[in-house]
């Protein structure tokens, strides 16, 4: 029984790290003309209302995209521009953002004619919203388990592959399941770029994912972690991302993006980047 709803968390610090990395990786891959098959295994509902009851209950977006938006005048760089442009496009020239794009919407807004997008969502209500969103375009929407669905669809028909794996980790076994799926997907498409999000927890549960990836077959795994400015005593204290086969120079550019929004008046206190498994 799934209970996680991304509407409570959309636009938070973890989303900024994840979506900044997603947009950067895709744009860097798009420097070459060949088509990219994009897969989003845990898509959510694609668009979020930052003024909804859910969003206001946690107010997590205030310290995420709310702060980012307030800093936008000093984020005038080539790598921030596509993110700021999408937010401006969705919201207009406003002081306070209302709409926030989930990962499928980021993919779709950056998609070229030669790219494809396939998304999965298992939660019935989220899946219904996603299907309605997907019905407006050429995106393939599957309301089923995203890990199994991904493996069924690989290798892709297009020459290149980008996969975002962003589970809610409601079940402890998901950390190992994700590592296992990553290894199996990688065997089917070794040149794919895979982004795997995970929470940094006081319990340290996420270590199971990192250990399993480290001892598995996948190589060239970059690891980006950021820490919350005011971590709670229990629960999530930060956000992590594994990036398999990052485009050349991706790590430096992501590090720069995260450094731009770290520090005293930024979004997070610290950001670290290292190879979990070397190239």
Residue ranges that bind ligand SAM, judged by CB under 6 A: 2, 4, 6, 15, 18, 42-44, 102-103, 120-123, 126, 145-147, 166-168
C-beta closer to ligand SAM: residue 166 or 206: 166
Shortest distance, CB of residue 73 to ligand SAM, whole angstroms?
A: 26
Say which of 15, 166, 177, 260 is annotated catalytic. Answer: 166
C-alpha span between 180 and 188 (Å, rounded) = 13
Q: Report DSSP letters for 72-114, one per residue.
A: GGG--STTTHHHHHHHHHHH-S-SS--EEE-HHHHHHHH--TT
The CA distance from 200 to 227, in Å, is: 8
Known catalytic residue: 166?
A: yes
Q: Where are the beta strands (DSSP E) in the chain?
A: 36-40, 47-49, 99-101, 116-120, 140-142, 160-165, 193-201, 221-228, 236-244, 268-277
Residue nearest ligand SAM by beta-carbon distance: 102
Pick 40 or 277: Cβ nearer ligand SAM: 40
Picking from 126, 121, 101, 119, the residue whose alpha carbon sits closest to that of residue 48 is 101
What's the closest the beta carbon of residue 170 comes to ligand SAM, in angstroms? 7
Give whichever of 15 and 260 is closer to ligand SAM, judged by the CB atom: 15
Least distance between ligand SAM and beta carbon 12 (Å): 10
Instruction: Supply the minimum distance, in Å, between the C-beta of residue 262 and ligand SAM.
Output: 20
Q: Which is nearer to ligand SAM, 37 or 122 (CB)?
A: 122
Catalytic residue ranges: 166
């Amino acid at each position: 029984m799934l209970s996680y709803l991304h509407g409570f968390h959309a636009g938070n610090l973890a989303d900024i790290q994840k979506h900044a990395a997603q947009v950067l990786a895709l744009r860097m891959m798009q420097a070459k003309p060949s088509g990219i098959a994009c897969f989003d295994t845990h898509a959510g509902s694609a668009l979020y209302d930052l003024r909804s009851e859910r969003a206001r209950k946690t107010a997590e977006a205030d310290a995420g995209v709310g702060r980012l938006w307030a800093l936008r005048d000093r984020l005038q760089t080539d790598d921030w521009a596509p993110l700021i442009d999408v937010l401006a496009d969705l919201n207009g020239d406003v002081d306070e953002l209302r709409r926030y794009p989930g990962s499928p919407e980021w993919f779709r807004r950056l998609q070229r004619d030669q790219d494809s997008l396939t998304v999965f969502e298992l939660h019935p209500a989220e899946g219904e919203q996603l299907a309605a969103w997907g019905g407006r375009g050429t995106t393939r929407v599957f309301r089923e388990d995203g890990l199994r669905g991904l493996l069924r669809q690989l290798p892709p028909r297009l020459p290149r592959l980008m996969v975002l794996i962003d589970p809610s980790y409601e079940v402890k076994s998901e950390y190992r399941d994700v590592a296992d799926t990553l290894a199996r997907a990688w065997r089917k498409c070794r040149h794919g770029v895979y982004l795997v999000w995970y929470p940094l927890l006081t319990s340290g549960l996420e270590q199971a994912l990192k250990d399993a990836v480290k001892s598995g077959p996948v190589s060239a795994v970059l690891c980006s972690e950021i820490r919350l400015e005011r971590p709670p005593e229990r629960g999530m204290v930060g956000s992590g991302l594994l990036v398999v086969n990052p485009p050349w120079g991706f790590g430096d550019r992501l590090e720069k993006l995260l450094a731009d929004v770290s520090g005293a008046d930024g979004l997070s206190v610290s950001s670290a980047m290292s190879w979990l498994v070397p190239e």
